[in-house]
Amino acid sequence: MLSVDGSSNQQGNGTGVILEGPDGLLIEKANNNQAEYEALIAGMLLAKEIGAKGLLEKSDSLLVTGQVIGEYQAKDPQMAAYLEYVQVLKESFEVFELVHVPREKNT
């Protein structure tokens, strides 16, 4: 299971990634990148790198979740490029599900 979060404020942008394997193994990554899509992509790449076959992803970004599952369009060219890359990465997994989690429950 992959949990991601991104943020942007006056101090800069940030991403957080926690990948939990079926045996309880936790891999955490946090760095200063651009925000929600970059957190999603970083997590997907990490899961792919360790050979995950299925991925349940949780994100508190309604926009990103909505775009990835097809409820929203990505009109901004940069967001469209991120979305296209996520769609390509999804093919790396036999099972991929992205679920929106309210911010207050995304600890």
Distance CA 40, CA 100 (A): 12
Q: Which CATH number do you get for residue 73?
A: 3.30.420.10
- pLDDT (tens digit, 9 = 90+) per residue, 66-99? 999 999 998 888 888 889 999 999 999 999 999 9
Q: What's the number of domains the chain is made of?
A: 1
- Which residue range is the domain that position 17 belongs to? 2-105
What are 13-42's pLDDT values in tens digits? 566 667 777 777 766 655 433 578 888 998
Q: What percent of the chain has pLDDT over 70?
A: 76
